[in-house]
Amino acid sequence: MTNERRVLVHPDKEALTASVAARFLTKTIDIVDDQGAANIALTGGTMGIAVLEAVNASPARDTIDWSKVHFWWGDERFVPRDSPDRNERQAREALLDHIAVPPENVHPFPSSDETPDIDEAARLYAAELEAFAHEGWPVPKFDITFLGVGPDGHIASLFPDRPGIREEKASVIAERDSPKPPPQRLSLTRPVINSSDRIWLVLSGTDKASALGLALAGASYTEVPVAGAKGRKRTVFFVDKDAAVDVPENLIAPSY
Phi first, then psi: what are they for 185, rounded to 5°? -145, 160
Cis, bond preceding 163 (omega within 30 deg of 0) = no
Give the pLDDT confidence score for residue 109 in this predicted structure.
98
pLDDT digits (tens, 9 = 90+) for 93-115: 999 999 999 999 999 999 999 99
Report residue 3's pLDDT band, with 50, 70 and 90 as the boundaries: low
pLDDT digits (tens, 9 = 90+) for 179-190: 999 999 999 999
Tell me the C-alpha distance between 106 and 88, whole Å: 9
Q: Does domain 37-42+62-186+203-246 have CATH number 3.40.50.1360?
A: yes
In the chain, domain spans: 37-42+62-186+203-246
Task: Answer whether residue 255 shows pLDDT above 60.
Answer: no
Report residue 253's pLDDT band, with 50, 70 and 90 as the boundaries: confident
**Strand order through the sheet with 4-10:** 4-10, 234-240, 198-203, 144-147, 38-42, 69-73
pLDDT digits (tens, 9 = 90+) for 31-74: 999 999 999 999 999 999 999 999 999 999 999 999 999 999 99
Task: Name the nearest CA neighbour of 248 among 221, 201, 212.
Answer: 212
